[in-house]
Structure 1
Amino acid sequence: MATLREAPDDVPRASRIARVIDTAATERGILARACNRVGIDPGVADNAGLLAYGENAVFALPQAGIVARIARGPHLLDRARREIEVARWLRDQDFPTVRPAEQVPAQPVSVSERPVTFWELLEPADRDPDVKDLARLLKRLHALPRPPFALPAREPLALVETWLDSADAAVHLDDRRFLLDRKAELLDAYAAVRPVLEPGVVHGDALLRNVGVHGGRPLLLDLENVSDDLRELDLILTPMAAVRYGLPDGAVEKFVRKYGFDVTSWDGYPVLRAVRELAATAWVAQHVPGNPAAEDEFAHRVRCLRTGDTTSRWHSF
């Protein structure tokens, strides 16, 4: 781990912006090498469109009819393997979700210790998803039997320190200490939570942004956090998102009616929401270097956690 400094301001903003440009070029270079490794013309990487850059750099390669996901580091290799295994199992269950690219049977591949997976390119979205789509998909997912392979527990705070480390000097040491102390407190509270629903297969990141409506039906996207854990972990995110990110009026009520359980009435809800908000704050840290908007958002979220502010709006990344 690189040495932490007391303040992020000793890293010039111009240097941080240059680092982002270098990062984009690096991701595209890894994409070209990964394509070459699996027999896809590496030239398609030149015209690949960057769809998202979070835990993964996600590129659309329309010429090849696929999407490539490049994970941030070797610590995510096992998760990438499991994501492919889960996707194939869900395919066999006829569950509506994304499918691994058939032309790349052996995956993930590693390039510069970065796990890369390939997926079928979806048709253009028919419409925006709504919370009823999400509730239906979760109800169907939660009704599935456990798969014939082991799934880990969700462990929603497992990567907090990794995300903070990736920000290096861009995160103030006092904020890092506060978040790690908060993590320790919440791990104890989380261990004491007693569910009311039967634990089992969960999506693990069941936000509305992980639903797409393609080819006439809603699909559950981003399977990297599928786990065997508390079903309530999937259900807390809609009421949390209604407060933090904004959902249309009545969205939570529609979600509850469609799924059939109101997680906000459960005594474990405040703990699971606090756990998720800490994780969501630490997650933004990895975007802070070279990104003034992420820097401001991270500071805002930390301020909310420090002051116990549970109502202020957050901005999505």
Structure 2
Amino acid sequence: MTAFDGPHARALLTTACAAAGLPDPVDARLLALGENAVFDLGDPAVVAKVGRGPELTERARRELAVADWLGRQDVPVVRPYLPEPLVADGHPVTFWHRLGPAVRAAAPTDLAPLLRALHRLPDPPFELGRRDLLAPVDRWLASADGHIDPADAAFLRERRAGFATAIAELTPQLPPGVIHGDALPRNVQLTADGPVLLDLENVSHDLREHDLVVLALSHDRYGVPAEDYLAFTTTYGWDVRDWPGFAVLRGARETASASWVAQQVPGNQAALTEFRRRVASLRDGATAVRWYPF
């Protein structure tokens, strides 16, 4: 299997650009490499997302539909450049209009009003599906076979099974509905016209608490200051930590976040170090151990 790295993703991008009638992306700048490789094409003002594998094709298609629908609901979101994904050697590639430059880094208080607007929406005229954040755990861990301790993989799979059962038994505080699914300030760009919501691939119909647990975990694990978290909860109007189900959703998200790093481990010592840090803290129940974005 060919590794999904920067050069491979760039080759897939070249194929997709040719099919789309876009210039050769020889000077495209790699912005991020995770579930997708994200490239800024430069000229034209387009950003491309190359999916890690064929299993992401339907998600890419739904993300484009979600962006179109949210734009028509007056929620400020990134706009598709092409209405459907292209497929390059089985990998979905989507193209998006590049936003204007950020006036500053988005803060939690920039995210909160976007979530309030999103959480007030009715369901769209198409199926969103649930936010099964634990579904990819097996795939992420399998991609690191031979590179991580099998005992760590087994530990995370066992946690996944336990939290999947516990989530199904939760009683929400908020009415379920449309959620972003990965509600972090990094998924907001603060332009001269205001904040814009990005990365819509996990928009779902599920517990609204999913969106609020993300920033609570960021406060606990990734160093978001207490005053920033307080500003977020004040602006949104509720602190999810007051909900009895908080520990369950937090634990599920920690399990997914630790497993997500596994797909980066092959050939990447820094990813292996971070993976081991996360697993060790989960084994020890050390809820305050700092994790680092990857």
**CA distance in 2 between partners of 1:23 and 1:238 (Å):** 29
Instruction: State the alpha-carbon separation in 1 of the partners of residues 61 and 128 from structure 2.
Output: 12
Q: 2:171 aligns with which of 194, 199, 202?
A: 194
TM-score between both structures, scaled by the size of structure 2: 0.97
Amino acid at match of 2:96: W
SS of match in other structure, 1:118: strand
Question: Residue 6 of structure 2 corresponds to which residue in structure 1?
Answer: 24
Structure 1, unaligned runs of 5 or more: 3-18
Partner SS state of residue 47, structure 1 = coil
Residue aligning to 2:160: 183
Q: Is the 8 A contact 1:129 1:212 kept in 2?
A: yes
2:12 is the counterpart of 1:35: no
Q: Per-residue deviation at 1:135?
A: 0.6
The residue type paired with residue 24 of structure 1 is G
Q: Are the aligned partners of 2:181 and 2:211 in contact in 1 as well (CA < 8 Å)?
A: yes
Aligned to 2:118: 141
Counterparts of 1:152-191 in structure 2 under 5 Å? Answer: 152-191=129-168
SS of the counterpart of 1:240? helix
Give percent identity, aligned residues only.
Answer: 49
Distance 2:240 2:231 in 1: 13
- Correspondent of 2:199 among 202, 222, 247: 222
Question: What's the C-alpha RMSD, in Å, of the aligned pairs?
Answer: 1.3
Matched ranges for 1:1-317 at <5 A? 23-41=5-23, 43=24, 45-101=25-81, 104-105=82-83, 107-317=84-294
1-structure distance, mates of 2:231, 2:6: 40
Structure 2 counterpart SS, 1:176: helix
Match of 1:12 in 2: none
Displacement of 1:65 after TM fit?
1.1
Whole-Å separation in 2 of the counterparts to 1:27 and 1:282: 22
Displacement of 1:291 in angstroms is 1.0
CA contact (8 A) 2:177 2:208 kept: yes
SS of 1:181's equivalent in the other structure is: helix
Give, in whole Å, the separation in 1 of the partners of 2:257 and 2:175: 25
Partners of 1:228 and 1:24 in 2: CA distance: 33
TM-score (norm 1): 0.90
Residue in structure 2 matched with residue 10 of structure 1 by the alignment? none
User: Bigger shift: 55-64 or 247-256?
Assistant: 247-256
Distance in 1 between residues matched to 2:157 and 2:212, nearest whole Å = 25
Larger RCO, structures 1/2 (Cα 8 Å, 6+ apart) = 1
Cα offsets for 1:132-161 (capped at 9, x unmatched): 111111001101111011110001100000
Letter of the structure 1 residue corresponding to residue 105 of structure 2 = D
Q: Deviations over 1:55-97 (max 9, x none)?
A: 1000001111100000111111110000000000011112111
Distance of 2:51 and 2:257 partners within structure 1: 18
Consecutive unaligned residues of structure 2, counting only runs of 5 or more, are none
Native 8 Å contact 2:130 2:206 kept in 1: yes
